[in-house]
Copies of this chain bind each other. A is one copy, B any other.
Amino acid sequence: MSNTIFWVNGKPEALVSAADRSVHYGDGVFETIRVRDHQPEFLARHLARLRVGCERLGFNAVPWDRVETETLELARQKAEGALKIILSRGSGGRGYRFGSEQHTTRIIGLYDLPQWPDSITTTGIRARVCSLRLSIQPRLAGIKHLNRLEQVLARAEWDDESIREGLMLDLNDRLIEGTMSNVFLVREGRLLTPDLSQCGVSGIMRSVIMDVAERADITVETCALTLDDVRTADEVFICNSLIGIWPVTTIDTIGVYPVGPISRKLGEQLQQVEASRNSHWYAS
């Protein structure tokens, strides 16, 4: 906590109005971005998703130039870090209604990068299946909005430090995502990832991996998946913007998996993309 730097509406301060609609309703969206060598990785993709989220929620007049400038500027303050952008609809009166005059609140936090052993990418992680089921809500599906109580409750299901992620199903028994990650299965050389049109967050690292796979001639299918698909998968991995790809080698009560060739190949190619700083990948 002590190493976190917050900027609110462009000013270095760590306070938000008590009338802010993020506090009252979770009326906003956010991004978590990896800072590598003082630069926010895949920034254009993150900003594009923020835009989609703001459009879906009916935000108007978001000062996008400032969001981008402030993000780049704040990122310079740490060589490696985790940067979080929160955009809320701003302050309002009591009541759900909002008018046409909105003043987006910009909250940008720069955190230390969470630490994990380098060996994770070679040895894989242990995961579990959460008992909380995600609700179905197409109107909010895909975007990274601030209503995250389901994730908070799901993450509270376990304390065991050796379990690094919990997989979440929806109320129809479909596999959707991890509490903090997206999930991929490998079956007969093809990559399968859950359809997120009914719930879940469409992650930036998920989209990067889908592009990396396509370039490597690996077929990617977005489809309905269940725990049976997980049970019979050849490989399983999770991803997010901070961790990249983590192979999953154990899912409690479900199965044991190798760190397989597809996971390894995608992990290597992702590292090349990240190292290349190629503007197509790095900024977009």
Q: Is A96 at the interface (CB under 8 A from chain B)?
A: yes
B24-A23 in contact (CB<8A): no
B25-A152 in contact (CB<8A): yes
Q: Is A79 at the interface (CB under 8 A from chain B)?
A: no
B153-A57 in contact (CB<8A): yes
Chain B residue nearest to A93 (CB atoms) is B1
Q: Is A94 at the interface (CB under 8 A from chain B)?
A: yes
Render A180-196 as a binary contact track against B, CB cut-off 8 A, 1 for contact.
Answer: 10000000000000000
- Known A-B contacts A147-B148, A149-B57, A155-B97; A107 and B26 likewise in contact (beta carbons under 8 Å): no
- Known A-B contacts A19-B4, A19-B14; A27 and B149 likewise in contact (beta carbons under 8 Å): yes
| Minimum C-beta distance from A190 to chain B (A) | 31
Q: Is A18 at the interface (CB under 8 A from chain B)?
A: yes
- Known A-B contacts A96-B155, A148-B24, A151-B25; A17 and B16 likewise in contact (beta carbons under 8 Å): yes
Residues of A142-158 at the interface with B, using a CB-CB cut-off of 8 Å, are 145-156
Residues in B with CB closer than 8 Å to A22 are 22-23
Chain B residue nearest to A82 (CB atoms) is B94
| Minimum C-beta distance from A138 to chain B (A) | 9
A17-B18 in contact (CB<8A): no
Q: Is A136 at the interface (CB under 8 A from chain B)?
A: yes
A18-B18 in contact (CB<8A): no
Excluding A26-B26, A147-B147, 13 further A-B contacts by CB distance (< 8 Å) are A1-B19, A1-B92, A6-B18, A13-B18, A18-B107, A23-B107, A25-B147, A25-B148, A84-B94, A95-B155, A135-B135, A135-B199, A139-B150
